[in-house]
Amino acid sequence: MEPVIVVNLKTYPEASGKSALNIAKIAESIVRETGRKIIIAPPQPDLALICSSVSIPVFSQHVDNVKPGNTTGFVPPEGAKAAGAKGTIINHSEHRLVHADIEELVERCKALGLLTIVCTNNIRVSRATAMFHPDYVAVEPPELIGGNISVTDANPEIVSGTASAIRSVAKGVGILTGAGVKNGRDVAKAIELGTDGVLLASGVAKAKDPRAVLLDLVSGITD
């Protein structure tokens, strides 16, 4: 599977509105220059704008297991699809869902042609989630999210263990890791530990020079 860097901009003010568009365009230019794969997940209010402005894959940060209609304030998968999203993050540690909803959302997204990244917090949950056959499982220990120590240094066993566990039950599911990932070294270590890439947020969203950070990140992917 092609290595990928997934950038979740969350709702950081430094990465919302025009700033989100700027980061997405920087990512697009780096993809053209390097041939590496970058996915951007902008704040939900900016989703349609970003989708219509760049050629790289744009994901929704979240979808809800509700039907389109009288569901004010929710984001059904159909809404993300209509905005132009190529996929979605599901069950981020900051927006947890119950297991049954995760399974149903993966199926609904498949039917719509939306790719899925399901976030998990440990090896056991990662293995169980892989049985739903999302496109990716992203393991992120919650205590390390937003910190300055990468999961690849703080807890490499959860990364390699998740990779082994998932590949034992669902070989076609991609594996990502995140939490504290900041640079190309972290990306290289994640891939060395058995993943197909990383999911990160603040390292790019809050960066004074997003281009420099993204270039550093993709440098961790080698042929």
In a domain, 118, yes or no: yes
In angstroms, the CA 23 to CA 42 distance is 9
Residues near 100 by beta carbon (within 8 Å), at least 6 away in sequence: none
Q: What is the CATH number of the domain that holds 98?
A: 3.20.20.70
Beta bridge partners of 60: 88
Catalytic residue among 33, 78, 95, 140: 140
95 is catalytic: no
Residue 16 has φ and ψ, to the nearest 5°, of -120, 155
140 is catalytic: yes
Catalytic residue among 14, 28, 33, 92: 92
Structural domain for 108, as ranges: 4-218
pLDDT at 111: 98
Dig out the tokens for 175 from the structure: 């594996």
Mean pLDDT of 50-58: 98
Residue 5, SS3? strand
Q: What is the pLDDT of residues 76-100, one digit of tens each?
A: 999 999 999 999 999 999 999 999 9
In a domain, 90, yes or no: yes
In a domain, 105, yes or no: yes
Report field, pTM of the whole predicted structure over 0.85: yes
Residue pair 40/59 in contact by the 8 Å Cβ criterion = yes
In a domain, 176, yes or no: yes
